[in-house]
Amino acid sequence: MSGLQPLLHDLLVTLRAPSQVWCAPDGQVRPSGAQGAYHADVRVLSAALVRVDGAEPEPIGAGRVTGGALEATSLLRMIDGPGPDPTAMLRRRRTVAPGEVTEELELTCATAEPVAGRLTVRLESDLAPMESIKQGRSHAARTPEVDGDTVRWVDGATRVEVRAEGASVEADDSGATLGWDVTVEPGATVTLRWTARSEVPAVVTAPARPEPEWSVPTVVADDSRLAPLLRRSLEDLAGLRMSAGFAPDETFLAAGAPWFFTLFGRDSLWAARLLLPLGTDLARGTLRTLAARQGTTTDVDTAEQPGKILHEVRAGDLHVDDDTTLPPVYYGTVDATSLWVCLLHDAWRWGMEDDDVEALLPALERALAWMREFGDADGDGFLDYADASGHGLSNQGWKDSGDSIQWRDGSLAEGPIALSEVQAYAYEAAIGGAALLDAFGRPGADAWRSWAAELKSRFRSSFWLTDEDGPYVAIALDRRGAAVDTVTSNMGHLLGTGLLDADEERAVARRLVAPDMSSGYGLRTLSSTSGGYWPLRYHGGTVWTHDTAIAILGLTKAGLGDEAAVLVRGLLEAAPHLDYQMPELFGGNAVDDGPAPMPYPAACHPQAWSAASSVALLTAALGLAPSSEQHGGLQVRPITPSPVGALDVSGLRFGGSDVHLAMDATGRLENP
């Protein structure tokens, strides 16, 4: 039976893809909710609970050391000496590597006499699938096998094995207890260790190489929040690096932990696109990985079509709910194909090698052809979607929850749905694709520029609405071609794509920074004046970091620095409240409504495109963009005045070279 989706906001995570450990704030892994050690999409340990003389240590602090390491400190007053001061202590150090979790348990004391006790670690495993845990299903712990100091759980090809040097092992039907009798001398250290190694059949695996594909810039800014945000974000991204079995030499970013720890077309593409100022290697790996599974046939069950870029991959069917079951390789996305083309074009402009670009041009041509031949299912001239399988996603843009496309009164729009931002991605892909075809001497560029011009004209006549606050862009057209009248963040994705003219971009900018849309912590997904608004509705009032970042970049590209600065300052205002780890989403409450942004309690963290958004703040503040000329230079047009004050950045990358830039608080470059 399904229950409630487990909450994540108060859990600590330690990860190195494709492995992760979720624990309570004291470092203990208890058999409840989403807590546990995972490898691929299986929970290999559902409990790892430390006790001393039968009692849990008293926690005094826990937190990440790096993305792959955590330390928790506890007091051991059950074996401590007399006196008010705590003088016996346990440090629990957890390290996660692909397929491996190691814990060191370090005991020390400052007592007059040695302290002694029995330390135990209770381990349980349910080998439960991730999808079932997300649905809140309960799972019985499995009976382990014991061989000396080794404990293992096995289910077919899935296997987890725990070894603990010097420990006694006591097993029962629901788990095993590791035990050590310890004596700690004053001033000395006793260190105990256990390691779990896991094997799980999976489509995605550890990354192809150990080092990240991007540079790590050094940032000095008047705004003291920017540097720690960037540092934390890049550390989080390092833990999300993955490779796929069908493209084992390439690296991409998994969408997010814990639920989306795999390849997602849209998410992985956007994350790589946001990181382009730090290098093009991640973009190349992401493009190649997705091209390796580009659609070749028409399959209603998987939503595959020739030229289409996939939505996600899993090891088996994914049962989302009673009505939705996705096949292992699923193509139900309306935007990933256009975004793939956009990333290839942008990576080329940022300096991706011509040979690497040219090798991907056949996939580019197939992707462009998909937009024209398959993207418009109802023939109205706009890219749209409708699930034809009966068990796929009902909404197939980035706002993919069932209630995300709604009218201002809160009622749901009926599909096929043509999303506004999808038309912008398609326009940008057609123009960028044409530039690539021209540059490499391939035919078809003029036809795609004509296609884009016609789309632009149709869009202007179909998507614009006006209310008492002025003009704005509808989120979508419904099955009748009617413009769905909610005011949403989707229109922020249109900025800088070329789909809008300058006056239209200014109109959109005004709506985005108005109080009903800008919470002071970022951009709300839905206007607070809409009937369906709620600050904790997944796509109906929350703030998504990447959504805000995309709008920031579009505003900057459109020359609307004042409005971009409003949203830059909003994300920076939110960052310290979130411990500089921008989650998948957070509450849309205003700055003056409570002490901090409300946590969205089921939000994934880290999330690839959220973490990558920190780089977008740098990109916007400096006004970075490749020249429109082939093999041109890097344009630098800072927002003035600077939303982060004076800024000095070294370690950016363009065309394979390091870039150092500095500007004062007015936005004047000091080394143009």
Residue with the two structure tokens 């991907």? 360
Residue 130 pLDDT exceeds 70 = yes
Tell whether omega for the bond before 18 is within 30 degrees of 0, i.e. cis: yes
pLDDT of amino acid 2? 59
Q: Band of the pLDDT at 672, cuts 50, 70, 90? A: low
pLDDT of amino acid 631? 65
From residue 58, how far is each of 61, 80, 94 by CA, in Å?
A: 9, 12, 18
pLDDT of amino acid 317? 87
315/309 Cα distance (integer angstroms): 18
Question: 480: burial class by Cβ within 10 Å (0-12, 13-18, 19+)?
Answer: exposed
In the chain, the percentage of residues whose pLDDT exceeds 70 is 99
Residue range(s) in the chain whose domain bears CATH number 2.70.98.40: 12-202
pLDDT of amino acid 321? 83
pLDDT of amino acid 556? 98
Report, as an integer, the average pLDDT of 182-186: 97
Cβ atoms of residues 423 and 382 within 8 Å: yes
617/596 Cα distance (integer angstroms): 21
Digit-coded pLDDT (tens) for 198-223: 999 999 999 999 999 999 999 999 99
663 DSSP 8-state letter: E
Q: Band of the pLDDT at 408, cuts 50, 70, 90? A: very high
Digit-coded pLDDT (tens) for 220-235: 999 999 999 999 999 9
pLDDT of amino acid 67? 81
State the CATH architecture for 205-663. Alpha/alpha barrel (1.50)
**Mean pLDDT, the chain, integer:** 96
For residue 60, give the 3-state DSSP assignment: strand
pLDDT of amino acid 1? 43
Q: What is the pTM of this model?
A: 0.96
Report, as an integer, the average pLDDT of 539-545: 98
Q: Band of the pLDDT at 630, cuts 50, 70, 90? A: low
Residue range(s) in the chain whose domain bears CATH number 1.50.10.10: 205-663
Residue 632 pLDDT exceeds 80 = no
Class of domain 12-202: mainly beta
pLDDT of amino acid 320? 85
Digit-coded pLDDT (tens) for 246-256: 999 999 999 99
